Amino acid sequence: MDADRSLDCTGLVCPLPVLRARKVLSGMAPGQVLAVSATDPAAPRDFDAFCAAAGHTLLDREERDGVFGFRIRRGG
């Protein structure tokens, strides 16, 4: 995943992955991309809702061996 920053949230449960992503994104410029990895089964739903509410774009997500990967473009 190509990204400007990355965040490892494996082992964390809701709401920590979204809270940590929100903190990192707040320090990024609009248009930059954050890659997040998480193992919480609720993460796909949580990141969908977070991006929609915060004005960010969820570029893609994947799941491999129980680890979810997300690429989020910071909104402006």
15 prior amide bond cis, ω within 30: yes
Are 34 and 72 in contact by the 8 Å Cβ rule? The answer is yes
Annotated catalytic residue within 1, 3, 14, 54: 14
Decide if 14 is catalytic: yes
Measured at the alpha carbon of residue 15, what is the angle toward residues 12 and 74, in degrees to the nearest 5?
Answer: 100
The set of catalytic residues is: 14
